[in-house]
């Protein structure tokens, strides 16, 4: 027995020595990547989880055809600009004295014609003094800016070459479906010609519905990172269904949520720039309210999906077609409308004077109404004595955030003094005690005053509080 115990102890010691030698001399230390971020507390919620039946998962999905069709038509866009930065405090205080510094940014672009027209994001080329485009075959060209649409973050640029270039045809983003496989093609982190795969996670996604610039993005879980901006989102047939534009992330890198401008919207912008030099934006001419229990009860509505019309603009296509407050828009041209971003996403792909077929419910009965779209024109007025420019608020939903039904939005601070207060987007509700509903009323009130008169402005701040300011001349 003692002999057995001795042998056991020797065997254990030998094993420990062998394992220790392996750890010291042979094993490679693993690379550990840590993220300096706070992990949010997770709520434990009971979940009904059903394992996927593997026999129902498609096994014949092939991304190679789409990748081969598109990789040569996605380019690397480099922009160069000049910024002035003070080297020291003396330069800072000497009337703006500073040293010029050349800066460089990079993104992606999509060739859409064989003669060199390229669509990209406006933020990729914004502020550039020089643009350089590098193709997948490493040839580089100088590029010129043809036109931009900052509100939609789309830009059109062009390179000149004698060779016929590979390009990606526009697909129909309206027919793209949630769950459909897509590829994101671009140049993340300057890694040229990168292809990632994912699915369409959502459509008509509005990232900031109260900024007055209503968006309608395609959301995807295909990996998109800095440098992918302006690149292609394509379906498995190699058709362009989106221009990769943004990610939502706490780290600045991809965490599963990426967004693309739908191809129908991008194509319409490109066509407008080529034909008119700028974007011709179309509108129906309505204001809306959310469909909730309060509004459903107020208007005696049974449906829970659609766009509830809260107001109809004078002389608009909606007014001429007979649309009324309390109507609910359910479909446009057969496309289902569940929320306001569905409506704006579809209408933004149309042009002024186009006629669309609008399906509405009124008194719980369904009607089809043809509506001719009108051109969106921003009315602006400079209140020079105050130092701001005002514009009509774009939608009743914007005013609803501030719990008011009238006002104009501050679109720009004109003076350096006012620029310090970050006023853009705030609402002016009254001037000298008079309610204002549009720019024309603001103009009439201001121009009726004598130069030496004071101006009292009632402003709704970002918390919804009403504040009064007196501007003395």
Q: 64: helix, coil or strand?
A: helix
User: Exactly one of 123, 211, 354, 406 is catalytic; which is it?
Assistant: 123
**Run of H or E residues at 419:** helix 416-419
Q: Which of 152, 216, 229, 288 is an active site residue?
A: 229
Q: Where are the beta strands (DSSP E) in 45-98?
A: 74-85
Which of 76, 108, 152, 153 is catalytic? The answer is: 153
**Rounded distance, CA 170 to CA 185, Å?**
15
- Could you give the C-alpha distances from 17 to 3, 8, 13, 27, 472, in angstroms and in order? 21, 14, 6, 14, 88
Q: Taking Cα atoms as reference points, which of 251, 246, 250, 195 lies closest to residue 218?
A: 246
429 is catalytic: no
Q: What is the DSSP letter of 338?
A: -
Tell me the H-state helices in 279-335.
293-299, 317-321
Q: Is 406 a catalytic residue?
A: no
Q: How far, in Å, CA of 184 to CA of 381, rounded?
A: 42
Cα–Cα dist 270/274, whole Å: 6
For the question of residue 353 being annotated catalytic, the response is no
Burial class (CB in 10 A: 0-12, 13-18, 19+), 6: exposed
Q: Provide the annotated active-site residues.
A: 123, 153, 229
């Amino acid at each position: 027995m003692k002999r057995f115990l001795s042998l056991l102890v020797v065997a254990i010691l030998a094993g420990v020595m062998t394992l220790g030698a392996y750890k010291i001399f042979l094993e490679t230390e693993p690379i550990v990547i840590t993220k300096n971020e706070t992990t949010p507390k997770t709520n434990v919620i009971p979940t009904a989880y059903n394992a996927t039946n593997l026999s129902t998962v498609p096994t014949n999905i092939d991304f190679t055809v789409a990748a081969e069709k598109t990789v040569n038509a996605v380019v690397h866009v480099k922009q160069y600009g000049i910024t002035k930065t003070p080297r020291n405090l003396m330069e800072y205080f000497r009337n703006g004295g500073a040293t010029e510094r050349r800066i460089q940014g990079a993104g992606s672009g999509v060739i859409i014609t064989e003669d060199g027209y390229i669509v990209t994001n406006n933020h990729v080329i914004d502020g550039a003094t020089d643009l350089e485009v590098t193709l997948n075959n490493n040839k580089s060209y100088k590029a010129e800016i043809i036109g931009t649409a900052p509100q939609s973050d789309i830009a059109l640029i062009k390179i000149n070459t004698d060779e016929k270039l590979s390009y990606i045809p526009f697909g129909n983003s309206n027919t793209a479906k949630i769950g459909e496989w897509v590829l994101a093609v671009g140049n993340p982190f300057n890694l040229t010609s990168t292809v990632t795969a994912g699915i369409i996670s959502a459509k008509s996604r509005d990232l900031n519905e109260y900024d007055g610039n209503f968006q309608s993005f395609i959301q995807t879980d295909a990996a998109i990172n800095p440098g992918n901006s302006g690149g292609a989102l394509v379906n498995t047939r190699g058709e362009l269904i989106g221009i990769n534009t943004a990610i939502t992330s706490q780290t600045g890198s991809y965490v599963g949520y990426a967004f693309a401008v739908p191809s129908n919207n991008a194509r319409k912008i490109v066509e407008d720039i080529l034909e008119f030099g700028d974007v011709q934006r179309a509108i129906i001419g309505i204001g809306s309210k959310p469909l909730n229990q309060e509004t459903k009860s107020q208007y005696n509505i049974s449906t829970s999906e659609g766009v509830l019309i809260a107001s109809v603009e004078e002389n608009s296509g909606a007014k001429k077609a007979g649309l009324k407050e309390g109507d609910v828009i359910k479909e446009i041209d057969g496309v289902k409308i569940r929320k306001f971003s569905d409506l704006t996403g579809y209408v933004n792909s149309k042009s002024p004077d186009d006629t669309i077929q609008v399906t509405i419910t009124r008194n719980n009965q369904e009607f089809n109404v043809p509506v001719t779209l009108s051109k969106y024109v921003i009315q602006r007025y400079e209140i020079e004595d105050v130092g701001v420019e005002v514009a009509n608020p774009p939608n009743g939903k914007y005013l609803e955030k501030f719990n008011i039904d009238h006002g104009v939005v501050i679109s720009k601070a004109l003076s350096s003094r006012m620029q310090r207060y970050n006023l853009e987007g705030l609402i002016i509700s009254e001037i000298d005690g008079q309610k204002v509903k549009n720019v024309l009323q603001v103009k009439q009130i201001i121009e009726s005053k004598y130069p030496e008169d004071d101006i009292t402005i009632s402003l709704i701040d970002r918390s919804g509080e009403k504040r009064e300011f007196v501007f003395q001349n």
